[in-house]
Amino acid sequence: MSKKRVHEIAKEFGVESKQIISILQQHNVNVTKAVNSVDDSGYEIVKKQLSKKSEAPKVAQKTEQKVEQKSAPTAAHKQEAAPHKQQHSNRSNEQKKDNRKQGGQKQDDQSKQNDHKKGNVRHVQISEPTRKSDGNQHGGDRANNRPNNNNNRNNDNRNNNGRPNDARNNDNRNNDNRNSDNRNNDNRNNDNRNSNNNDRRNKKNKKGGNNRPQSLLSTSMQKKKNRVKHRNEQYLQQKAEAERKAEAAIATEIELSGSLTVKELAEKMGREVSEIIKKLMLLGVMASINQEVDVDTATIVAEEFGVTVTEVEPEEDPTDIIEIEDAPETLKPRPPVVTIMGHVDHGKTSLLDVIRQTNVTAGEAGGITQHIGAYQVRYNDNKITFLDTPGHEAFTAMRLRGAKSTDIAVLVVAADDGVMPQTIEAINHAKSADVPIIVAINKMDKPGANPDHVKQQLSEHGLLPEEWGGDIIMVPVSAKQKQGIDDLLENILLVAEVMELKANPNRKAYGVVIEAQLDKGRGAVCTVLVQKGSLRVGDTVLAGTAYGKVRAMTNERGEKVKVARPSMPVEILGFSEVPQAGEIINGMDDNEARAIAEKRIAKQRVQELQATHKVTLDDIFNQIQQGELKDLNIIIKADVQGSVEALRQSLEGIKNPEVRIVIVHAAVGAINESDIMLASASNAIVMGFNVRPDANVRRAAENEKVDLRTYRVIYDAINDVESAMRGMLAPQFKEVIVGRAEVRQVISTPKAIVAGSYVTEGRITNDSEVRLIRDGIVVFEGKVDSLRRFKDEVKEVKTSFECGISLEGYRDVKEGDVIEAYLMEEIAPQF
Ligand SMILES: Nc1nc2c(ncn2[C@@H]2O[C@H](COP(=O)(O)OP(=O)(O)OP(=O)(O)O)[C@@H](O)[C@H]2O)c(=O)[nH]1
């Protein structure tokens, strides 16, 4: 006894499960769900009920019954087959009709069937996941082709399994029974639905489903291949194009207008930088990418590459200020500017100190002069300007600038020590600057003093004393005992007189920046030596990219100065930023200064962008952040091997997850140019411990943009590297003008003096640091006491608004004054 599930029976009879459940429940069969099973008796009940309703034609039924009887011996089987009678009979009839019709069309039909088969093959491939519905179609086709066989097979199935209604075969039969009745039509529709579903699934699969059909896979592979092929073709095209361009870029003729960097020369010639460097090396010139080569060298290199060089006049630089020669009649005598030079500890400061009658040595950090100071002294009604250049080799670069701004060089040589390395260097600098030298043989009081030995040594370096038939004045002095000082000063004046030093005081100022620094309270503070013209408070000045109105001017004794004439050193306030020492300062028209400064800034930016980016301690953190720095390369130079090792071990001990410290070179000895070249090539930082670079090395480091740092304490070196990695190097500050307001009315109240003001630019805030400016001079610096709009206290007032400002601890405000608000802003370290 077999059992069938409700839904199977429903399917067999082509009705819904609930109809079957209802029939069975009416006959007290306990079923509630489509999955419940019923035995043969239940099945019979259903069959009977549904047979009554059936409208199948009698003839068909009879024919079917005959067939059933032939093949199915049991009554049960006859009954089971009943619903299918009409299907089979229809199919048989159809087949007969078809056979009659076929005749000449047989061939065509056959080919159509073949086509259909092909279609099915394709379809099966595509609809792998929907095998069941394909099975239907497939079976359907088979049924079409071999209806009788199909029939027999069904019968066979029945015989073999004792289960007459194999669902699949049943479905197949339904498929075959086209046009016979509604039920069959439904089936056909199902068929269509299935095929539609298949199409939809195929589309889904195309989009990358796991069950991607084979044909789609091959299509996507083909597309992929095509893409790769296309890319390859593009790459080859681009490569060919680049080669063609490179070929075209190689110049046969170039124009040179002055010295240029190796990189610029390479660009002009359309060659690789490495080719140029190689050629220079062959010519015996060791140059790096950013090093300048003069026109002659560049011409030789170019010619080596077969490039013709034409020398042209350099283009006029709009940022250059052409220096006008003053007419002889405008020139007036001016004091000499004297630079004191010499070896370390030979007594330069002491000598100058005696001359100035002040004690500078006592106030100096570590007893060493740290910067170029400038002072003017009066001797026998004559003025002499002294530039106090430090003797230590660390400050050679500054000394070089000092020499350039100098009329006379006083070379201090200790009588007991004789000519030393920095003495020779000083001689060379003075000679190259074409500055007359006066030798002060100092420390004559010392027991070991031997002036003749000094003279002898100096003669060997081309300085022959007058008494030996030469033209060099040599004065024995003792700074300590204040001996020979008058003699020295008289000789300076004598040389100056012979030189007939003159300048036109009646023109805009022209001079040189001796030193400059940022003062937290006063902004850019700058020592300037006026060389021509006169500098006045309120004048607009330009030095490099810095410009501004001179707010205040003081002399070396801190006294206020209104006008500085030729050869006078003064300290000035008012620059927008800190100018560089050695920069030329020009007095000029306001707008002109601003325009030139802006052009210079733009030019500087371009140059900075062009310069290769070198690693610096200031920039390490940024580079780490941007993922540009994986290794921090360091070159160590120290005085003794013990320090080299100590520094190496300490630096290598610094651990950072993003950056590895690599010591590319570590050795005993002074920092030399080859260290800089190595640092440049390996993008390294140079750290010197108890060793110092000379001027040439410093210049090379500047040119190569190599960060060169010297230390006297190992801890400081380690600390700097660690801080740099964390982006915590000591911050730098710059003054930022927040806003300006013009005082239009002064209102006196019992509590305070209120400056009724109009904000002309930026904003004024109630917590601003401010300065009160009158006729270009700062008359007060301090804080805002109160800031009001009408009667209300406000935090800030913006441009084009009026406000009342009272200043903390200052009442002498006048109409026309300018209140300038500023703040000291920490700037990100840059190099
Ligand atoms: N006995 C003697 N000692 C002197 C004389 N002049 C300077 N000294 C000493 O020499 C040392 C160096 O003097 P400075 O004036 O600092 O020498 P400097 O050349 O300015 O040194 P730097 O600023 O470091 O380059 C000091 O201890 C002075 O006291 C002198 O005429 N006689």
pLDDT band, very low/low/confident/very high, at 612 (cuts 50, 70, 90): low
Question: In 3D, which of 552, 559, 561, 503 has the Cα closest to residue 526?
Answer: 552
pLDDT for res 477: 96
Per DSSP, what are the bridge partners of residue 730?
Answer: none
Q: Ligand 1 pocket, 42 CB below 6 A?
A: no
Atom of ligand 1 nearest to the CA of 361: 16
Reduced to 3 DSSP states, what percent helix, strand and coil does the chain have, rounded to the nearest 5?
A: 45, 25, 30
Please, which pLDDT band fits residue 650 given cuts at 50, 70 and 90? confident
Q: Could you tell me if the CB of 162 is within 6 A of ligand 1?
A: no
Give tens-digit pLDDT for 538-592: 999 999 889 999 999 998 777 889 999 999 999 999 998 888 777 889 999 999 8
Angle between helices 6-13 and 17-26 (to 10 degrees): 110
The CA distances from residue 472 to 141, 388, 438, 469, in Å, are: 124, 21, 6, 9
Q: Are strands 753-765 and 796-798 parallel, antiparallel or unpaired?
A: antiparallel
Cα of 367 from ligand 1 centre, angstroms: 9
- Ligand 1 atom showing the smallest separation from residue 352 Cα: 15
> In degrees to the nearest 10, what's the CA dihedral of 343, 347, 352, 356?
170
The Cα 141–Cα 497 span in angstroms is 126
Structure tokens at 643: 């320090």
Residue 107 has pLDDT above 60, yes or no: no
- Was 239 annotated as part of a binding site? no
Tens-digit pLDDT profile for residues 750-772: 888 999 999 998 999 988 889 88
Asked if 436 contacts 471 with a C-beta cutoff of 8 angstroms, the reply is: no
Decide: 511 in ligand 1 pocket, CB within 6 A.
Answer: no
DSSP label at 125? H
In contact, 663 and 651? CB cutoff 8 Å? yes
What spacing in Å lies between the alpha carbon of 410 and ligand 1's midpoint?
15
Cβ of 349 closer than 6 Å to ligand 1, yes or no, is yes
Q: For residues 768 and 736, is the Cβ–Cβ distance under 8 A? A: no
569-575/523-532 β-pairing = antiparallel
Residue 506 · residue 331 · CB < 8 Å: no
pLDDT in tens, 566-579: 999 999 999 988 88
Query: Residue whose CA is closest, atom 2 of ligand 1?
Result: 443
Residue 98 has pLDDT above 90, yes or no: no
546: exposed, middle or buried (Cβ count in 10 Å: 0-12, 13-18, 19+)? buried
End-to-end CA, the chain: 98
Q: In the sheet that 708-711 helps form, which strands lie side by side, from edge to edge?
A: 660-668, 631-638, 684-689, 708-711
Residue partners of 100: CB distance under 8 A and separation at least 6: none
The interface predicted TM-score (ipTM) is: 0.98
Element (H, E) at 494: helix 485-499
Angle at 33 between CA 29 and CA 35, to 5 degrees: 100
Q: Is 443 one of the annotated binding-site residues?
A: yes
Cβ–Cβ under 8 Å, residues 143 and 172: yes
Q: Are 495 and 438 in contact (CB under 8 A)?
A: yes
Compare 687 and 680 and report the one with higher pLDDT: 687
361 touches ligand 1 (CB under 6 Å): yes
Tell whether ligand 1 has an atom less than 6 A from the beta carbon of residue 442. Answer: yes
Q: Residue 399: CB within 6 Å of ligand 1?
A: no
- Structure tokens that stand for 230 in this block: 């296309």
pLDDT at 54: 57
The confidence score (pLDDT) of residue 127 equals 34
d(CA 207, CA 195): 19
Q: Which residues are paired to 631 by β-bridges?
A: 660
Q: Which two tokens stand for residue 712?
A: 């006297």
Q: Is the CB of 422 within 6 Å of ligand 1?
A: no
User: 481 CB contacts (<8 Å, ≥6 apart)?
Assistant: 444, 445
* Burial of 322 per CB tally in 10 Å (0-12, 13-18, 19+): exposed
Ligand 1 near 453 CB (within 6 A): no
- 717/698 Cα distance (integer angstroms): 19
Q: Is the CB of 478 under 6 A from ligand 1?
A: yes
Task: Answer yes or no: is pLDDT of 201 > 80.
Answer: no
**Which of 339, 340, 345, 487 is the pocket-test mutation for ligand 1 (most atoms within 8 Å of CB)?**
345
Separation of 349 CA from ligand 1 center, angstroms? 7
User: Is the CB–ligand 1 distance for residue 484 below 6 Å?
Assistant: no
Is 443 touching ligand 1 by the criterion CB < 6 Å?
yes
Closest ligand 1 atom to Cα of 392: 25
Residues 6+ apart with CB under 8 A from 144: 113, 176
Distance of CA 689 from the midpoint of ligand 1 (Å): 25
Contacting residues for 511 by C-beta, under 8 A, at least 6 apart: 528, 529, 530, 531, 532, 535, 584, 585
Separation of CA 371 and ligand 1 centre (Å)? 16
**Ligand 1 in contact with 423 (CB < 6 A)?**
no
Q: Is the pLDDT of residue 178 over 70?
A: no
What residues contact 826, with CB distance under 8 A and at least 6 apart? 731, 732, 733
Q: Is the CB–ligand 1 distance for residue 348 below 6 Å?
A: yes
Bridge partner residues of 818 (DSSP)? 742, 773
Fill in the DSSP letter of residue 825: E
- Angle at 261 (CA atoms; ends 257, 264), nearest 5 degrees: 75
The helix/strand/coil state of 482 is coil
Tokens (6 digits) for 468: 């030996």
Q: How far away, in angstroms, is 407 Cα from ligand 1 center?
A: 24
Instruction: Report the residue among 340, 346, 348, 350 best suited for mutation to probe ligand 1: largest number of ligand atoms under 8 A from its CB.
Output: 350
What mean pLDDT comes out for the span 469-475?
Answer: 94
Q: Quick check: CB of 521 below 6 Å from ligand 1?
A: no
**Does residue 535 contact residue 506 with C-beta atoms inside 8 Å?**
no
Q: CA dist 156 to 68, 72, 142, 150, 327, Å?
A: 12, 10, 16, 9, 131
DSSP 132: H
Instruction: Mean pLDDT check: name the lowest of 58-67, 387-396, 642-651, 668-677.
Output: 58-67
Structure tokens at 631: 């290794």
Q: Tell me, using a 6 A CB cutoff, whether residue 479 lines ligand 1.
A: yes
Tokens 């029976």 label which residue? Answer: 9
From the CA of 418, how far away is ligand 1's center (Å)?
14
How far apart are the CA of 345 and the centre of ligand 1, in A?
Answer: 5
- The tens digit of pLDDT for each residue in 313-335 reads 766 666 677 777 888 999 999 99
> pLDDT band at residue 112, thresholds of 50, 70 and 90?
very low
Answer whether residue 105 shows pLDDT above 60: no
d(CA 318, CA 603): 10
Q: Is 349 assigned to a binding site?
A: yes
How many Cβ atoms are within 10 Å of 712's Cβ, its own excluded?
A: 9
Contact 374, 327 (CB under 8 A): no
Taking the centre of ligand 1 as the mean of its atom positions, its distance from the CA of residue 357, in whole angstroms, is 15
How far away, in angstroms, is 346 Cα from ligand 1 center? Answer: 5
Mean pLDDT over 1-8 rounds to 77
Please tell me the distance from the alpha carbon of residue 26 to that of residue 268, in angstroms, as a whole number.
Answer: 104
Q: How far is the CA of 719 from the centre of ligand 1 (A)?
A: 34
pLDDT averaged over the chain?
A: 74
Which residue in 736, 695, 753 sits closest to 422, CA to CA?
Answer: 695
Q: Provide the CA 458 distance to its chain's centre, in angstroms.
A: 54
Q: Is 442 annotated as a binding residue?
A: yes
Residue 147 CB less than 6 A away from ligand 1: no
Beta pairing, strands 502-503 & 473-476: unpaired
CB atoms within 10 A of CB 784: 18
Residues in the chain: 831
| Predicted local distance difference test score (pLDDT) of residue 249 | 66
Kindly give the number of the ligand 1 atom that is closest to the alpha carbon of 412: 19
Q: For residue 472, report the distance from its CA to the centre of ligand 1, in Å.
A: 23
Mean pLDDT value of segment 608-624: 65
The pLDDT of residue 5 is above 50: yes
Count of beta carbons in the 10 Å neighbourhood of residue 443: 24
181 in a known ligand binding site: no
Which mutation among 349, 364, 393, 422 tests ligand 1's pocket best, with the greatest number of atoms within 8 A of CB? 349
Q: Whose structure tokens read 């630019």?
A: 761
Residue 342 marked in a binding site: yes
Contact yes or no for 476/511 (Cβ under 8 A): no
Q: What's the CA angle centered on 481, arms 475 and 487, to 5 degrees? A: 30
